[in-house]
Structure 1
Amino acid sequence: MKKTLLMAAFALMGTAAFAQSGTGWGIKGGLSYNKNGDLIQTVSNSAQNVVEGAEGKTGYHFGLWGKLDFPKMYIRPELVYTKTKSSYNLNNATNDYDLSKLDLPVLIGVKIIGPLHVFAGPAFQYVLDNDLGDLRVQDVENDFSVGLNAGVGVNLGRIGLDVRYERGFSENEARFIGNNITNVEGRVDSRPSQIIFALSLKLSGSNRR
């Protein structure tokens, strides 16, 4: 029920933005290179835990965006489904950490020259699902979290290209244990750190940059 209400809230916020006078809207999609936070393995009878950093892997995203345009700046909310993946080496075995989430970035952009623009803003994130290879992983501590998006892009008519960096503000851990492996337990930080490459297509609105 909670997930359904949050998804409906995201959709309503996006629809409200699209309905603004002078706003264009469209679709977007692309690839990302993501590294989640550290995996910390709890070691029995030891005063020190084992910390394993993530190896980045490629993910993807797709969704909708809206834009309220001004002469020198713009406001752009997005509603995006995102799939990220990181890899951890645990007990000489590789486990991929897959994360599915809804992202709602609210970006403020500044037009630099011609089609070039820069942007930044908060990214509200809602985790839908997580999976850690052969290990049994619990839900993340906080389904809802906040991060930061910042990047640069160009607009070419109705086509837009941008590259951005996304970072979660705070740790958001999920505990795990081994299914068929004894003495394997710990926690993994789901906080994203990713570079995102996106292609946007404007479906409605003016061609003004």
Structure 2
Amino acid sequence: MKKTFLVVAFALIGSAAMAQSGSGFGVKAGLSYNKNGDLISSVGDGGQDIVEGASGKAGYHFGFWGKLDFPKIYLRPELVYSKTKSSYDIDGDSQDYDVSKLDMPVLLGYKLIGPLHIFAGPAFQYTLKNDLEGLTVEDVENDFTVGLNTGVGVNLGRLGLDVRYERGFSENEAEIIGDNITDVSGRVDSRPSQIIFALSLKL
């Protein structure tokens, strides 16, 4: 009985892995837990710098992917719209910093066993919008940046599940300006650091 159960279990795992094997394309969406870099603010005319670390908040993404499949490895480029959100304590108030961007990860994956695989690769990022509640954000240092994606995934039929870590390679500061002369001004680092949970569907 145990042998029969094991044979059936391995057959199901194998068929699930094969269902999403092979080259193709699909759609994906998911949630992320995001944390941008430090907010460095200058208060009033005193020139006092206050450095605030970000508190992470949930974000989301959706997009498309393609896949070139080989016996033990695969190449998977993606085009994804992402929205990240972090929170800063400014003058005692919690204010959200929203960043919208287009991501293009180019991932190289390695198939471990059955449906399990690992992957890593660069993520080319283009910033569409920066918005810090109550302040004006302008003069982003680099609209185009490069980050790193690394993670692990599992294929279940036409569905794929993965969790990955994304990190920017360098700082990417933007100037912040208050509405009044006495308001907080300074700079904020829009470099993302996030844990991403994704669900993909092969079409």
Which residue does the alignment assign to 1:41? 41
- Deviation, 1:180, is 4.3
Question: How many Å apart are 1:181 and its aligned residue?
Answer: 6.7
Give % identity: 76
Superposed displacement of residue 95, structure 1: 1.3
Q: Tell me which residue corresponds to 1:109.
A: 109
Structure 1: distance between partners of 2:137 and 2:154: 40
- Would the alpha carbon gap of residues 88 and 113 (structure 1) be closer, same or farther in structure 2, given more than 3 Å must change? same
How many residues are paired up?
A: 181
TM-score w.r.t. the length of structure 2 is 0.86
Letter of the structure 2 residue corresponding to residue 74 of structure 1 = Y
Structure 1 segment 45-56 matched on structure 2, within 5 A: 45-46=46-47, 49-56=49-56
Find the counterpart in structure 2 of residue 90 from structure 1: 90
- Give the aligned residue type for 1:49: D
Q: What is the letter of the counterpart of residue 70 of structure 1?
A: F
Rg larger for: 2
Shift of 1:139: 4.0
Alpha-carbon distance in 2 for matches of 1:140, 1:101:
13
Name the structure 2 match of 1:19: none
Mapped partners of 2:179, 2:192: distance in 1: 26
Within-5 A mapping of 1:1-209: 23-43=23-43, 44-46=45-47, 49-180=49-180, 182-203=182-203
The one-letter code sitting in structure 2 at the alignment partner of 1:30 is: G
* RMSD of Structure 2 on Structure 1 (CA): 1.2
Q: C-alpha deviations, 1:12-69, integer Å up to 9, x for none?
A: xxxxxxxxxx6210000000000000000124434x5210000000000000000000
Unaligned runs of 5+ in 2: 1-21
Q: What's the secondary structure of 1:42's corresponding residue?
A: strand
Instruction: State the distance in 1 between where 2:31 and 2:170 align.
Output: 24
Pick closer, same or farther for the CA change 1:79–1:175 going to 2, 3 Å: same
Q: Secondary structure at the match of 2:37?
A: coil
Query: Aligned partners of 2:33 and 2:192: how far apart in 1?
Result: 10
For 2:46, the aligned partner's letter is: N
Normalised by the length of structure 1, the TM-score is 0.84
Task: For 1:105 and 1:82, locate their aligned partners in 2 and report how far apart those are by CA, in whole Å.
Answer: 12
Structure 1 residues 26 and 50 mapped into 2: Cα distance closer, same or farther (>3 Å)?
Answer: same
Task: Report the CA distance between 1:82 and its aligned residue.
Answer: 0.2
Task: Tell me the distance in 2 between the aligned counterparts of 1:109 and 1:159.
Answer: 17
Give the Cα–Cα distance (whole angstroms) in 2 for the partners of residues 85 and 179 of structure 1. 22
Distance, in Å, in 2 between the alignment partners of 1:33 and 1:189 is: 17
> For the structure 1 residues 182 and 45, does the alpha-carbon distance in structure 2 shift closer, same or farther, using more than 3 Å as the test?
closer
Q: Distance in 1 between matches of 2:73 and 2:23?
A: 13
Three-state SS of the structure 2 residue aligned to 1:49 is strand
CA distance in 1, matches of 2:104, 2:79: 5
Q: Distance in 1 between matches of 2:60 and 2:66?
A: 20
